[in-house]
Amino acid sequence: MANTFGELFRVTTFGESHGGAVGVVIDGCPAGHKIDLEYIQKQLDRRRPGQSHLASPRGELDQVECLSGLVDGISLGTPITLIVRNQDAKKDHYSDLQDVYRPSHADYTTDAKYGVKAPSGGGRASARETIGRVAASAVAEIVLQQLIPGFKVVAYVDRVKDVQGRTDYGETLTRDKVEEHPLRCPDEATRDAMEKLIIHAKKTGDSVGGTIFCGISQCPVGLGEPVFDKLEADLAKGMMSLPASKGFEVGMGFASTYLYGSEHNDAFVNREGKIRTESNRSGGIQGGISNGEFIYMRVAFKPVATIFKEQQTVDREGKELVMKPKAGRHDPCVLPRAVPMVEAMALLCVMDHVLRQLPFAHLRGPHHV
Amino acid sequence: MANTFGELFRVTTFGESHGGAVGVVIDGCPAGHKIDLEYIQKQLDRRRPGQSHLASPRGELDQVECLSGLVDGISLGTPITLIVRNQDAKKDHYSDLQDVYRPSHADYTTDAKYGVKAPSGGGRASARETIGRVAASAVAEIVLQQLIPGFKVVAYVDRVKDVQGRTDYGETLTRDKVEEHPLRCPDEATRDAMEKLIIHAKKTGDSVGGTIFCGISQCPVGLGEPVFDKLEADLAKGMMSLPASKGFEVGMGFASTYLYGSEHNDAFVNREGKIRTESNRSGGIQGGISNGEFIYMRVAFKPVATIFKEQQTVDREGKELVMKPKAGRHDPCVLPRAVPMVEAMALLCVMDHVLRQLPFAHLRGPHHV
Amino acid sequence: MANTFGELFRVTTFGESHGGAVGVVIDGCPAGHKIDLEYIQKQLDRRRPGQSHLASPRGELDQVECLSGLVDGISLGTPITLIVRNQDAKKDHYSDLQDVYRPSHADYTTDAKYGVKAPSGGGRASARETIGRVAASAVAEIVLQQLIPGFKVVAYVDRVKDVQGRTDYGETLTRDKVEEHPLRCPDEATRDAMEKLIIHAKKTGDSVGGTIFCGISQCPVGLGEPVFDKLEADLAKGMMSLPASKGFEVGMGFASTYLYGSEHNDAFVNREGKIRTESNRSGGIQGGISNGEFIYMRVAFKPVATIFKEQQTVDREGKELVMKPKAGRHDPCVLPRAVPMVEAMALLCVMDHVLRQLPFAHLRGPHHV
Amino acid sequence: MANTFGELFRVTTFGESHGGAVGVVIDGCPAGHKIDLEYIQKQLDRRRPGQSHLASPRGELDQVECLSGLVDGISLGTPITLIVRNQDAKKDHYSDLQDVYRPSHADYTTDAKYGVKAPSGGGRASARETIGRVAASAVAEIVLQQLIPGFKVVAYVDRVKDVQGRTDYGETLTRDKVEEHPLRCPDEATRDAMEKLIIHAKKTGDSVGGTIFCGISQCPVGLGEPVFDKLEADLAKGMMSLPASKGFEVGMGFASTYLYGSEHNDAFVNREGKIRTESNRSGGIQGGISNGEFIYMRVAFKPVATIFKEQQTVDREGKELVMKPKAGRHDPCVLPRAVPMVEAMALLCVMDHVLRQLPFAHLRGPHHV
């Protein structure tokens, strides 16, 4: 299931960055939901490169087209297929790199695995593959928001290199607030410093990384399976499957390891007749199952591998050489565009676990979802 | 597939901590391999609680029994079923906790999900569930070592709370070296300080967490799928499915985000006719696919939830109450026992990806595995 | 998923006929159901050889033991593991056949596939493997009957060789009626002739086959998926995975091909406010989805391969030889014992599709299940 | 996995008959194979309606387009997406049937399942869905013929209603021979009688069914899994998932039940150093695993439900009414077009089992595939 994510809300992406189209088949979308293609397009636009001076100037239009699964905008319960044509496929753009393995890219490993080197710009390793994920996640988001009052997923740029923003927004933060600035960091106090770092990296032909914070509000209690398919395990897999991600943590994550258990445990309280936790260091998941509190996590993205400096490498024949810097069109920092990608994986993960929990919740009588 | 891990080397664990037995069915083990039950038992003994003064004094014997899949110690290619009887199941041990939700345990969420509260000590959320994982991983290890010369997986305690050990062992570290001390930290200079922390936690009825480092040596090139089933994504899922884990990173992980791309990229070189990387900040995986270098990762384990202090909580009816501390048998620090669990998930993950890659590698001619 | 059946009600069987035990892990049983081990035992007793003078005299007790998933007889929502120890494993019984490929058995193909010849009497190809299926199906049956009023699955011997019994019972037939006679044919007028055929085959060291009829009553409308996982496709797979089965048909099956469309179509009518069909030549499934009518099918079982006559064959080295007849303990006709096996696959299939349909039925509002 | 077939060669079809496009994503095609789009087109043309006077006059062009997975005609190892635009989608064509449940069609059950009635002409139940299957199977066929010398799959019309053709061609029959006549029955002696039957049905507004014979030559030994995923079980599922199929049999199938075991068993012989069977009543599969002999099977197709006679039925409100016959464009007999569909499912099934067997065959040393 190399190109499929999910058990019941099954998302299969396809397409190379320089082939005919990229896209996704969604198998398992419930019937009868109004699916707004404009909303899907809006999410794709957030993912698209070249949205601001901070990013690559590529003019990809990424126009979504629906091939199946909807009639008059209503889901049929059959596979929904969404594609985006590759408008801007210029193979020759990269042609002199054809036989060179770019450092810390997927060129060498892809070649070693398949024996076929995809045209440069990346085959399936290209960030363009995430178009299918974001399109599918917009469908998931529409359905989830129809099913669960108050449900929302909001991610934002948390840290760029060593510039850390505020992180105490909790469930109050809205996506509109995040979208106010092209950096997708809602912290007005630090985002100028972040921006400077990115512009500096761009000018020097270098790149920077950082972390994305993602929160899920009003997630129903009872999602996630107690053993391998813990909710945080599936979230971890989803996030670590994004290009350039190198780390994941949920709740207090790595910081929790510096506390005593007595400092970390979340006391249970009865708040207006509901069982809640007083603190939320667990991050809304206990024993792999959602407990109804705010779910939050962080994902680490490395500085992207494409830089415009001389680099030591080898070609397909194993000959060592020095790659010369040259003009190109890549983002010095993937973080702002990674925000909708991180939201996408959170949405796909929750949607799948909602469907997985439904038959059992249904049979129990009092429904949790 | 809530209780199953893997696509081709499929491991299904079963059993509650206080039922008849815990165990595992392994579907997909190649035929004709000599599988040594004593080796499996040895790995289970490493996982077992009560191995030293640092851990819980429980006298669980964890004697493995093989129900199927082997004839005269040779794998048949059919499902291998391994079980461990629950010798020490004393339900009443915990009986007065029956209706109390222990803070930061899975009691509440399990109850909310299933409507059936498993007997205390944990149902599937118990660390005892990992017996099946460790037993299966020992089978995987035996097969992998027969297939791949020099292949090994070695994990160790990297940090306890704020005491950080050395981490520059690379591929030279052996499991024997780790096993020399019950703490499973090979760094002689720091492990006394770690030990003191754990003993202090034990005395004060508290608990501590930390991180485990795990390295995979001589992993074949070409394992992992380029999109969702990236090798690091499946490793992340495996590790984050372990009880008490809260974070995962591969290669330089979160630390990579503080570097410029030019500082982080791994230059390719030709070393004795083989394409290798000069540095290994990527951690042996690029674009989701192994590149033949040392694969390394870290897993964060929170301080365990069981402590012996008064805690605020509620019962099943939602009534608030204070849990009183009382004598019990739990580890103040899960880290030493987590070492074989982390190795187990790494082994299961690699074994599965070896089988997944084999048909395609085979069809290519020059085999990578 | 070689040893697993089902998507949400996932049944994994394990065990060789002459190993330690055979059994099953059921992953996906809803929590909170009372599961009666005595009922499971009763179904296993129906499957057991040696129940009458018509069958093999083996004294297998097939005592079921539950290792996990139940507390005080209530399902926990965790994997239910059921095993039956192999009491009567006498390897030497067959030892002189060790290196001979019995005609039309799985010896040769198993050997060719795995390179390991399972001890004679069969490895996974043994009918003993079906113990796990029958045990799991009894759990499914208990849950289905608690969920769906009037739901039942009843199979019976329809034809032995060329002796055809009545088949017009419809939904009125009960399992008790079938169980009245060891042949499991409810047709008093023909079963004596069937019995004579079987006794004749036994005396002459030969074997006979025939067909099993299976009916499902009160199956909810809406089960089955419109493309690959049509209800009849999954039923076909289940039935054709039983040992010795060679054919499957649903509704009028092969006989439908002799009719004109105008003779075969089932007219819709409104019966007491419900949409029903006037005739039921489709067999309760249209377009792969159940329509609420009686589902019925037939399964063909070949004459079993074990006979007590001289037969031409080869050994593992390819040397041709003549197998001499000798005393043994096998049924001359698998049909009576195949009745509970056929019911088992029907139950597993329906249970799985009920769980698969539930989330979508639930989201629709008016529930079909 | 409602719309996916296969474990390693995973085929996901999508598209409604009257939406934007129908198509398929193939995940798991090995890299480096030359995939000829013209060959795929040729197979689609065989599936297309309106090929002769025997069939519907629809002018569907069914032009295949490749969206991903190939570069310069070479497979990349990434998902191959093939689509066919719906050129001839005229919703109004059927509009007065919008609220009527056509007898023995999927209208009622689809509506009951999803609560959304697909536009008439069928949603996923339309034979047009099989475009994706046939396109994917052409890819499988290309790869299989490159891997296995002499491998071929040839199906043909075996019987139309009560007119039975010859069936003793064995492995000598070629697809070219079958394609000589639009009926796709190679038996010159009987096909005129078949043709008359079909023309008679067409004239009288009726339909006829029959059986398709399918043979697989030079299938490697060792394909298929011994328990649930027996080769014949997966073939049965594949065939029974085709529209209008009602029965399946392998080898002698139902006819085997009329024989004694001594008449049915296939003696093993040593033919030129290879273990072979003297007869082949088993049909090339024993114990669920291929034995290297000719694999053959039959599939029963009912007379199609669309007829041009008055029929009793109900509408969505449950109101009884009489459907009037009217002009339309449907085949009176699906059999000739079902030939490539049956071949498609056989090819998909074998391709999947070849990939599933490869890692284990590879590990054994002497490769079977």
pLDDT (tens digit per residue) in B300-310: 999 999 999 99
CB contact under 8 A, B15 and C124: no
pLDDT (tens digit per residue) in D90-117: 554 445 566 899 999 999 999 999 987 6
Residue C367's pLDDT is 36
For residues A179-205, give the mean pLDDT: 96
Residue B126's pLDDT is 83
Closest of D62, D55, D218 to residue D147, by C-alpha: D218
User: What's the ipTM?
Assistant: 0.95
**Quick one: DSSP state of residue B97?**
G
> Which of 330-359 (D) contact B at CB < 8 A?
354-356, 358-359
Model confidence band, residue D360 (pLDDT cutoffs 50, 70, 90): confident
Element (H, E) at B195: helix B191-203
Four-residue CA torsion sign, A249, B312, C32, A220: negative
The C-alpha of D355 sits at a distance from chain B's nearest C-alpha, in angstroms, of: 6
CB contact under 8 A, B68 and C28: no
Rounded Cα distance between C136 and C79, Å, is 11
Residue A87's pLDDT is 79
Mean predicted lDDT score pLDDT of chain B: 91
pLDDT (tens digit per residue) in A15-58: 998 789 999 999 999 999 999 999 999 999 998 887 777 665 55
The C-alpha of C138 sits at a distance from chain D's nearest C-alpha, in angstroms, of: 18
Rounded Cα distance between C298 and D111, Å, is 28
Distance of CA A35 to the CA centre of its chain: 21
The C-alpha of B363 sits at a distance from chain D's nearest C-alpha, in angstroms, of: 7
**CB-closest option in C105, C250, C291 to D109:** C291
Select the residue from A5, A72, A76 to test the D interface by mutation, using most D Cβ atoms within 10 A. A76
Model confidence band, residue D135 (pLDDT cutoffs 50, 70, 90): very high
pLDDT (tens digit per residue) in C302-315: 999 999 999 999 99
The C-alpha of D33 sits at a distance from chain B's nearest C-alpha, in angstroms, of: 10
- Put simply, whether C291 touches B (Cβ < 8 Å) is no
Q: Is D244 a residue whose pLDDT tops 90?
A: yes
Q: At D323, is the secondary structure helix, strand, or coil?
A: strand
Q: At D45, is the secondary structure helix, strand, or coil?
A: helix
> Which residues of A are less than 8 Å from C31 in CB distance?
360, 364
CA end-to-end span of chain C: 28
Q: How many CB atoms lie within 10 A of CB A168?
A: 7
Q: Is A327 a residue whose pLDDT tops 80?
A: no
Give helix C107-114 / helix D335-364 axis angle, nearest 10°. 60
Contact partners for chain A, using 3 or more CB pairs closer than 8 A, are B, C, D
Q: At C64, is the secondary structure helix, strand, or coil?
A: strand
Q: Is D53 a residue whose pLDDT tops 50?
A: yes
Query: What are the Cα distances from residue A57, in Å, to A49, A282, C180?
Result: 7, 41, 81
Question: Are B342 and B239 spatial neighbours (Cβ–Cβ below 8 Å)?
Answer: yes
pLDDT (tens digit per residue) in A29-40: 999 999 999 999
Model confidence band, residue B57 (pLDDT cutoffs 50, 70, 90): low
The C-alpha of D30 sits at a distance from chain B's nearest C-alpha, in angstroms, of: 6
**Quick one: DSSP state of residue B71?**
E
- Put simply, whether B114 touches C (Cβ < 8 Å) is yes
Q: Is B237 a residue whose pLDDT tops 50?
A: yes
Q: Name the region of B105 (left: φ>0; alpha: ψ -120 to 50; beta: rest).
A: beta
Element (H, E) at A42: helix A37-47
User: φ, ψ for residue A120 (rounded to 5)?
Assistant: -60, 165
Extract the runs of DSSP E, i.e. beta strands, from chain A.
4-5, 10-14, 21-27, 64-68, 70-71, 74-75, 80-85, 152-160, 163-164, 210-217, 245-250, 268-271, 274-277, 285-286, 289-290, 295-301, 311-314, 320-323
The C-alpha of D356 sits at a distance from chain A's nearest C-alpha, in angstroms, of: 13
Task: Nearest chain D residue to C13 by CA: give it.
Answer: D227
**CB-closest option in A78, A358, A364 to C32:** A364
> Which of 18-37 (A) contact D at CB < 8 A?
19-23, 25, 27-28, 31-32
At a CB cut-off of 8 Å and minimum separation 6, what does A145 contact?
A: A151, A152
Element (H, E) at D13: strand D10-14
> Which residues of B are less than 8 Å from D355 in CB distance?
359
- Put simply, whether D114 touches A (Cβ < 8 Å) is yes
CB contact under 8 A, C287 and D109: yes
> Which residues of B are less than 8 Å from D32 in CB distance?
363-364
Q: Is D369 a residue whose pLDDT tops 80?
A: no
CB contact under 8 A, C159 and D233: no
The C-alpha of A138 sits at a distance from chain C's nearest C-alpha, in angstroms, of: 19
Which pair of structure tokens corresponds to residue D181?
């006549």
Q: Is D65 a residue whose pLDDT tops 80?
A: yes
- Put simply, whether B239 touches C (Cβ < 8 Å) is no
**CB-closest option in C103, C112, C259 to D267:** C103
More confident residue, D1 or B189: B189
How many Å is the maximal CA-CA distance in chain B?
Answer: 70
pLDDT (tens digit per residue) in B310-327: 999 999 999 999 998 776
- Put simply, whether C225 touches D (Cβ < 8 Å) is yes
pLDDT (tens digit per residue) in B24-37: 999 999 999 999 99
Element (H, E) at C340: helix C335-364
Closest of B299, B312, B305 to residue B331, by C-alpha: B305
For residues A232-248, give the mean pLDDT: 98
Rounded Cα distance between C335 and D109, Å, is 34
**CB-closest option in D222, D225, D237 to C112:** D222
Task: Nearest chain A residue to D66 by CA: give it.
Answer: A20
Exposure class string for C77-98: b at 16+ Cβ within 10 A, else e = bbbbbbbbbbeebeeeebeebe
CB contact under 8 A, D355 and B355: no
**CB-closest option in B68, B71, B80 to C119:** B71
Rounded Cα distance between D221 and D347, Å, is 16
- Put simply, whether B15 touches C (Cβ < 8 Å) is yes
Q: Is C70 a residue whose pLDDT tops 60?
A: yes
Q: Is D366 a residue whose pLDDT tops 50?
A: no
Mean predicted lDDT score pLDDT of chain D: 91
Select the residue from D68, D355, D357, D363 to test the B interface by mutation, using most B Cβ atoms within 10 A. D363
**CB-closest option in D16, D32, D74 to A68:** D16
Mean predicted lDDT score pLDDT of chain C: 91
Rounded Cα distance between A113 and B231, Å, is 13
Contact partners for chain C, using 3 or more CB pairs closer than 8 A, are A, B, D
Question: Are D64 and D83 spatial neighbours (Cβ–Cβ below 8 Å)?
Answer: yes
Q: Is D356 a residue whose pLDDT tops 50?
A: yes
- Put simply, whether D17 touches C (Cβ < 8 Å) is no
CB contact under 8 A, D16 and A78: yes
Q: Across chain C, how many H-helices and E-strands are there?
A: 8, 18
- Put simply, whether C303 touches D (Cβ < 8 Å) is yes
Task: Nearest chain D residue to C8 by CA: give it.
Answer: D1
Select the residue from A7, A10, A71, A91 to test the D interface by mutation, using most D Cβ atoms within 10 A. A71
For residues A241-247, give the mean pLDDT: 98
**Quick one: DSSP state of residue B164?**
E
- Put simply, whether D112 touches A (Cβ < 8 Å) is no
CB contact under 8 A, A31 and C367: no
Which pair of structure tokens corresponds to residue B89?
């199941």
